[in-house]
Amino acid sequence: MKKQFLLVLLTVLLCLSSVFAQAAGETVSEEKSITLYCYDTFSSEWGSGPTLIPLFEEETGIKVNVVSSGDAVEMLSRAITEGDSCPADLIMGISDDQASTAYESGLFESYESPELASIDDSLKFDPENRLIPFDYGVFAFVWDSEGTTRKPESLEDLRSPEFKDQIILIDPRTSSVGLGLLLWTIEIYGEDGYLDWWKDVGENALTIADGWSSAYGLFTEGEADIVISYTTSPVYHVLWEDSTRYQAVLFPEGHHQTIESIGLLASSDSKEEAKTFIDFILTEGQRETAIANSMYPVNNSTELPDAYDWAPVPEKVFSMDPEYVAENIDRWTSEWTQAMINN
């Protein structure tokens, strides 16, 4: 009898063990996750990622694997190289200037987010919603008011020899900010004159940095008094340093606007979870992302801190047709390389 009891007990325990193992296996298999390609600004310790990602994970139970891929240009280039084998579900940080390149890659699919209703139509640059805007900004030179150099008054003024070694530029081949400046100069000077501007201002440049982070870091370290950035860059210093030392300068020629977007990859195996993240960025993530990126939120219901009073609004803002950019960008960057690097 005792032996039979032990046999029955062992059988019950084995059955329970099997049930628990199966349940545990189901729990593991049901764990939801997405992989996000983003630029360094989002994922860095001063970016919005370290704050927003844990909040999203806690609210939704969806784990986010963040892959930082350098600047926006580098990030998109990496995804295109990987093609259909790209492990990302989402790519965050593609500018409207890169849009045609993104479309031609065939990597992205449309997503009609319900939050698009809260975004002004002027910011929706993709009618098929493959790339969904999440913030925007305006390129400008930022000036150190406590430096030794006077405030520049125009793009043309930056050609003056008195700015020698006091300007930090950014490479348009590796940075969306550098690309924005390239397009800005083409818009102002035309294809016949933009390279002359770059050559002259290049003579005044302390360096041509690979990306915005390194350029702005040199600027705040006092290596030069002027850097290409955004009209919203002073917001960071007002908020976190209580300082108005760094000021964006408005030029009478006008300024080039850029819109940053997030896109869902057609190859994603977690599309519903990825869409949930997009909706989160367009709602709860708007304020934090805008502040961390020193940009403007696209959701028009987002309340911004008073520090944005230090982000001047240009009277004239323009952007370039993405298709026109796509048709000419290889030639422009090749000409730029010949003029600036190989000269």
> Would you give per-residue pLDDT tens digits along the chain (343 residues)?
444 443 433 343 434 444 444 444 444 446 899 999 998 778 777 677 788 899 999 999 999 999 987 777 888 999 999 998 999 999 999 989 888 889 999 999 999 999 999 999 999 999 999 999 999 999 999 999 999 999 999 999 999 999 999 999 999 998 889 999 999 999 999 999 999 999 999 999 999 999 888 999 999 999 999 999 999 999 999 999 999 999 999 999 999 999 999 999 999 999 999 999 999 999 999 998 898 888 999 998 999 999 999 999 999 999 888 888 888 999 999 999 999 986 5
Give the span between the Cα atoms of 78 and 335, in whole angstroms.
23
Pick the closest to residue 171 from 203, 223, 214 (CA basis): 214
User: CB–CB of 239/305 below 8 Å?
Assistant: yes
Domains and CATH numbers, the chain: 29-136+258-306 (3.40.190.10), 139-257+313-340 (3.40.190.10)
> Residue 11, Cβ neighbours under 10 Å: how many?
10
User: CB–CB of 264/275 below 8 Å?
Assistant: yes
> Residue 279, Cβ neighbours under 10 Å: how many?
17
- Find tokens 């975004």 and name the residue: 119
The CA distances from residue 178 to 63, 68, 183, in Å, are 33, 19, 9
The CA distances from residue 40 to 45, 121, 212, in Å, are 9, 28, 10
